[in-house]
Amino acid sequence: MENEQTAGQFRKNIQIGTTVEIVQKKDQRSGVLTEGIVKRILTKSPKHTRGIKVMLDTGEVGRVRNILPE
């Protein structure tokens, strides 16, 4: 199993309805994280080094940094 830091890099770890923390494009420099529930998975490849890109149920788009426990 991947550690918590790299779990967001693998598409298999993220499903619709998963609670995650993402970093939005505008927040990449500051590192501000946005918490939400995955509505759509936008990255097609099985792995991405900067995190799988998702859309939250609020419409915000960003790359997964952390997958939160239920």
Task: Show pLDDT as tens, one digit a residue, over the chain (70 residues).
Answer: 456 668 899 999 999 999 999 999 999 999 999 999 999 999 999 999 999 999 999 999 999 999 998 7
Question: And the tokens for 61?
Answer: 């788009």
What is the fold of 7-67? Answer: SH3 type barrels. (2.30.30)
Encode burial over 32-50: b for 16+ CB neighbours within 10 A, e otherwise: eebebebeebebeeeebee
C-alpha span between 30 and 14 (Å, rounded): 24
Q: Rounded to two decimals, what is the model's pTM?
A: 0.89
